[in-house]
Structure 1
Amino acid sequence: MIFGFCLYEQRQYHLNKNKSVISSNLLELHICGTFFTDLLYLLDGRFSQLHTFHVNIIFFHCTTSTIHSREKLPNLRYFSLHSNTGLHNYDESIVPLLHRMLNLEKLDLQLVVHRNKGFINGNDFKEDIINNMSRLNKFTFNIRLFNYLPNQTNILSNENIQCKFKDFKSNEIISCVDYFQEKQYSYCHIYSYPYRMNYYDNISNNFPGGLFKNVHRVSLFDERSFEHEFFIQIQKSFPFMKELTVINAKPQKNKLYRKSKNDNQYLSIIKYPHLTELCLLQAHDDYVEQFLLDTDVFMPNNVHLIVYYQAMKRVTENFTRHATRVNCAKLASVSLLDTYKFIKPVKDYFPRADKH
C-alpha cells in the first residue's frame, strides 16, 4: 500500500500517542507540510512494515522529551527528509532518529541547519550516519549550515571540508565556506553532486561555479561587493534562472574604474533570458543601476521588478535618466515599495509595466 497526504497548520490529521492511526500493511508514505513531532509519531511503530518514507517538514520544534520512541525501524529502506525551515537541534533530533534506521539503503537529506558547534563534515556523517547503516548504498544530501560559534577563528576552511569527504568515493561532494564578519557567523553549503534542487540560495563571491540547468530560483548574498564578472558567472551557471534576489549593501568597487576607462564596450552584457522576477529590495543602488543600464544588462520583456521607490528615484534621477530608460521600458510589472501612488513621471517611465 502507498499513501500520501499533507499536514498543514489546521491539522487535518491529529496524530497522538495512543496510535489511533495504525496500518500493518502500509509500505510507502509521502507527507508534505508537516511538523517534526508528527514525523516522530508516525515512526512510533504504528506503521511497522513501512519500507519507503518521504517527508517535507515545515516546522521544527523538538525537545528531548518529544523523542519518546527509541524503537528500531528495521523494515525502512528509503528515507527522504526535506525542509527549508531552520533546524536548531540537528544533533539532538535528526541524528537519534537516523540511528533507528539500521537497515536503510537510501538516504536523502535536504536541510537548513543552525549550529553552535562547528560545521557538519564527512567525519560527522561517517560517525553519526554511515557507520550505523551497514546496508546504506546511496546517500544524497544538500546541507546549508549557519554556524554561530563565538570564536570564528578556528572554523574549517573549504579545503579542510573537502579533505574530510575524501572517503566518499561514490559521490562527488561540493562545498563552499564563507565567514561573514559583520554578522558574526560562518556559513557552509555542502551537497552531493549532481545538484537536484530547483533553487540555490545564499550564493556569495566564493561560489565554486558549475552548471545547474534545473535551478530556477537564485538568491545572492555577501558582505563583499558583487562585480560585473560575478553576474556573468551566475549567467553561465544558471542558464534557466527565472527568479533572482540580490542582497548586498556594499557598493561595487569597479564601477567608477569602468566608467573612467570607458570599459563598458569591452564587457560582456549580462543576459538572463528566462528571468521573470528580480528582487532588489536589499541591494545597494549600484546593483539597481546595473540591472537598469542596457549597456550592462539585457533585460527580457516579461520581468517583474521589486525595488524601493527611493532607490529607483535616485538611480533614474527622478525618472528622467535616459541611460536607464530602455530597460525600464521593457519591464512587464514593477513593485515600488514605500510609495502610495504613481505620479505621472513614474507612469511614463514604465510604459509597459503594471504598477503595484
Structure 2
Amino acid sequence: MTLDNNIYLYNLPYEIIFFILKKLDNMDILYSLFGMNHRLDNIIQDKIFTTMLNFVSISSLTNDISSISDRMLDRFCYNVLPRIHYNVKHLILESTSMGRILHAGSYPNLTELKLFNFNQEIIPRYFIDDSHLQHIYNQINDLTLISNENNTEMHSKDYTNNIYTVALNLFKNLTHLTIAGAFNKDYPPFSLDNLSLNMFSSTLTKLSIRVNIFNDCLALLDGHLQQLTTFIVYVNSIVYESSPSYMLNNDLPSLKVFSLTSYDDTDQYDMLVVPLLQRMLNLEELTLYLRVTRRTIFIDGTHIYNKILIHMLQLHTFTFYISSEKRIEVLPLRLSNSDIQRTFTNTLNRQVVCSVHYFSDFDNICHVFSLPFTFDHLEKISNHFPNMIFNSVTYLTLYDIIPFQYKFFVQIAQAFPLLNYLSINNDEPPSLNIYNSRFIDKSWLTIEYPYLTSLDLSFAHIYYINQFLNEKKTILPSLSELIVDYERLKVVTKNFTREKTRRNCATVKRLSVKGSINLENVYRYFPLLLNYECCPNYI
C-alpha cells in the first residue's frame, strides 16, 4: 500500500474546500480558480462567493491611477461574469471599468452599486449615451458615488444641475444614497434650489451628502423627503441667507439618525442650528461637529441639554465635537476645564473631554467632545490640549501665543499617528537660537510624521519652519505640499543650499509662497515640484 503525497485542492471533501475558499478574498477566488475544474466551478458559483464583487484595486484606493490589468479584467468579463452575474447583489467599481463590467451581464439581483472615481467625464459615456444600462440603474436601491474631483472650476450650482441631477435622475428607486469624496478631500458640493430637489427619489430613507450652505440642508428637510430616516450632511458654510424661506416650524417625526458636520466656523449656531435640532423629536442617534464663534458664553453641558437633548426623548447615542470661541473685552469669570466638565451630567453616559484655553482677555476657546473621538478634523489646538490618542484625525491646526516646545511636537506625532495635514499658527519661538548647536538637547529624538502630505507654515515663526524642514529634527517622507513664507524659507534653507533641509523638500510637488520667487533656485531645491503659487495673501 502506497501513500499519495500529492493531494490537490479539488480532491478534498466539499465541506473542507468550502471552508478554505470562504477564508480567501472573494475576487482572488474567482480570478484564480474559475475554469480550472468543473467541481471547483460549481463551488465558487455559490452565491456566498458572488453576492458582492469588488473591482477596486488597492492601488486605486491609495490615489494611484493604476488598476486591475485590462487583460485580467477582459478575461473576467468574458469568461466569469456571464456565468455568475445572476448571483451578484453588490458591485464595487471604478469608473474606468464600469462599462465593461456592467455590460458583461444583466445582473437581475443587483441592488447595491458603489462607484469610485466618479466625475463629470463619465456622465455622457454611461449616464446619457448608454441606454443599455437603464434596466440596471432602475433596480439599484443603494448607491454610493465616491468623487475624485477636487477644486473643480465648475460652479457648484452648475455641477449640481449638469452632473448630479443627470446621474441621479437615472436611479428611480433609490432608498439609500451616499456621495462622498475620496481620500478625505473636498469634492463639488450640492447647491440646491426648489427645482433641483426633484433629482432625489421620494423613496429615500438614507441620504449622506455634502451641501454648499445651510439653506441647502434646510431645503432637503422641507417636506420633499418625507420618508427620510437617516440624514448625514456635511455643510461647507453655516451662514444666514435671507431667502428662500423654508418650513422651519414643522417637526421631523420620521428622522431617526442625524449627523451634521461643518468644518468652517459659524456665528449662526444659535439662530440656525439649534432651531433645526429642536424639530427632531424622535431622533435616536445624533452626531455634531461644529465650530462656533462670537458667543458671550461657552457652549457647555448645561446648554447642550437644555437647548438640544431635552427635546429628543428617544435619543440613545450622542457623538459630538463642539468648539466655542468668546471674543469679549471683559471676562466676568475664567472657567476651568473642571468647571465645564461638571456641567456634563446628561450626555447619555458618554465620557466627555473639556479643554479651555485663554489666549488673551478677548480671545479664548473651549473644546468639548465625546469619547471615543471619531472625527477627522481638529482645529486651533493649543499647548494645553489634553494628551491622548486621536486615531481618526488626519487634519490638524495648531494655534497659540505661547511658544510650542519640542516636547509638544513629540506629543503631536504620538497623539495623531495618521496625520495628513498640519498647520502651525504661532509667531512666538522658544528662547533658543535655531542654528546654535549649544542649545540643542542631545537627547532629543528625530520626530517622524509618516503620512503628512500637506504642511502649512505660512503663519509660523522661522523657528518652526526650521523645526519641520530640518531632517535632524523632523522626518517628512510623504510631504507633497508646502505653504510657507518665502523669505523665511530662504533663511532656513540658507538660500536653497542647506543640506539638512534638502531631504524634507525633495518630495514637495506643490509650493505656495507669498511674494516673488527665484524659479531656478526653487526648482533645483525642489526636484519634484510640479507647480507653485505666489500669493499676495496666504490661502
Shorter-chain TM-score bucket reads 0.7 to 0.9
**Matches of 1:29 and 1:142 in 2, distance apart?**
22
The reply on whether 1:149 has 2:363 as its aligned counterpart is: no
The reply on whether 1:74 has 2:253 as its aligned counterpart is: yes
Rate the CA distance shift 1:127–1:67 in 2: closer, same or farther, 3 A: farther
Q: What's the CA shift for 1:119? A: 0.9
Q: What's the CA shift for 1:316? A: 2.8
- Find the residue that maps to 2:392 and give its secondary structure: coil
> What's 1:49 paired with?
227
**Matches of 1:26 and 1:177 in 2, distance apart?**
41
Rate the CA distance shift 1:33–1:208 in 2: closer, same or farther, 3 A: same
> What's 2:295 paired with?
116
> What's 2:319 paired with?
140
Match of 1:211 among 375, 389, 414: 389
Q: What's the CA shift for 1:235? A: 0.8
Q: What's the CA shift for 1:118? A: 1.0
**Matches of 1:127 and 1:318 in 2, distance apart?**
58
- Find the residue that maps to 2:488 and give its secondary structure: helix
Aligned partners of 2:285 and 2:315 also within 8 Å: yes
Aligned partners of 1:300 and 1:330 also within 8 Å: no
> What's 2:460 paired with?
283
Paired amino acid for 2:226: S
Q: What's the CA shift for 1:331? A: 3.7
Matching of residues 150-229 of structure 1 within 5 Å = 150-168=329-347, 170-181=349-360, 184-229=362-407
Q: Gaps spanning 5+ residues in structure 2: where?
A: 1-140, 148-154, 166-191, 533-539
Using structure 2 for the length normalisation, give the TM-score: 0.58
Aligned partners of 2:316 and 2:348 also within 8 Å: no
**Matches of 2:203 and 2:434 in 1, distance apart?**
69
Aligned residues: 351
**Matches of 1:300 and 1:23 in 2, distance apart?**
46
Rate the CA distance shift 1:51–1:246 in 2: closer, same or farther, 3 A: same
> What's 2:29 paired with?
none
**Matches of 1:305 and 1:149 in 2, distance apart?**
35
> What's 1:270 paired with?
447
Paired amino acid for 2:300: N
Q: What's the CA shift for 1:256? A: 3.9
Aligned partners of 1:279 and 1:307 also within 8 Å: yes
Q: Gaps spanning 5+ residues in structure 1: where?
A: none
Match of 1:297 among 455, 461, 474: 474
Aligned partners of 1:8 and 1:33 also within 8 Å: no
Q: Greater relative contact order: 1 or 2 (C-alpha under 8 angstroms, separation 6 or more)?
A: 1
Paired amino acid for 2:427: A
Larger mean CA deviation between 291-300 and 255-264 belongs to: 255-264
Q: What's the CA shift for 1:303? A: 4.1
Larger mean CA deviation between 302-311 and 19-28 belongs to: 19-28
**Matches of 2:299 and 2:269 in 1, distance apart?**
10
Structure exhibiting the larger radius of gyration computed from Cα positions: 2
Q: Deviations over 1:107-137 (max 9, x none)?
A: 1111121232211110011111111111110
Aligned partners of 1:217 and 1:242 also within 8 Å: yes
Q: What's the CA shift for 1:89? A: 2.1
> What's 1:335 paired with?
511
Larger mean CA deviation between 265-274 and 290-299 belongs to: 290-299
Rate the CA distance shift 1:180–1:9 in 2: closer, same or farther, 3 A: farther
- Find the residue that maps to 1:187 and give its secondary structure: strand
Q: Deviations over 1:301-349 (max 9, x none)?
A: 6543332221122223333445x345356444462622243234x5544
Give the helix-richer structure, 1 or 2.
2
Aligned partners of 2:486 and 2:517 also within 8 Å: no
Q: Deviations over 1:60-94 (max 9, x none)?
A: 23368846431122222111111123322212222
Aligned partners of 1:36 and 1:60 also within 8 Å: yes
Aligned partners of 1:3 and 1:28 also within 8 Å: no
The reply on whether 1:27 has 2:205 as its aligned counterpart is: yes
**Matches of 1:262 and 1:63 in 2, distance apart?**
55
Larger mean CA deviation between 219-228 and 141-150 belongs to: 141-150
- Find the residue that maps to 2:265 and give its secondary structure: strand
The reply on whether 1:249 has 2:397 as its aligned counterpart is: no
Q: What's the CA shift for 1:147? A: 1.9
Aligned partners of 1:307 and 1:336 also within 8 Å: yes
Matching of residues 68-107 of structure 1 within 5 Å = 68-107=247-286
Q: What's the CA shift for 1:281? A: 1.2
Rate the CA distance shift 1:146–1:2 in 2: closer, same or farther, 3 A: farther
Q: What's the CA shift for 1:174? A: 1.6
**Matches of 2:477 and 2:373 in 1, distance apart?**
27
Aligned partners of 2:434 and 2:463 also within 8 Å: no
Aligned partners of 2:479 and 2:504 also within 8 Å: no
Rate the CA distance shift 1:60–1:241 in 2: closer, same or farther, 3 A: closer
Q: What's the CA shift for 1:24? A: 6.3
**Matches of 1:174 and 1:245 in 2, distance apart?**
23
Larger mean CA deviation between 73-82 and 57-66 belongs to: 57-66
Paired amino acid for 1:151: V
- Deviating beyond 6 angstroms after TM superposition, the runs of 4 or more aligned structure 1 residues are 1-7, 19-24
Q: What's the CA shift for 1:200? A: 2.0
Tell me the C-alpha RMSD between the 2 structures: 3.2
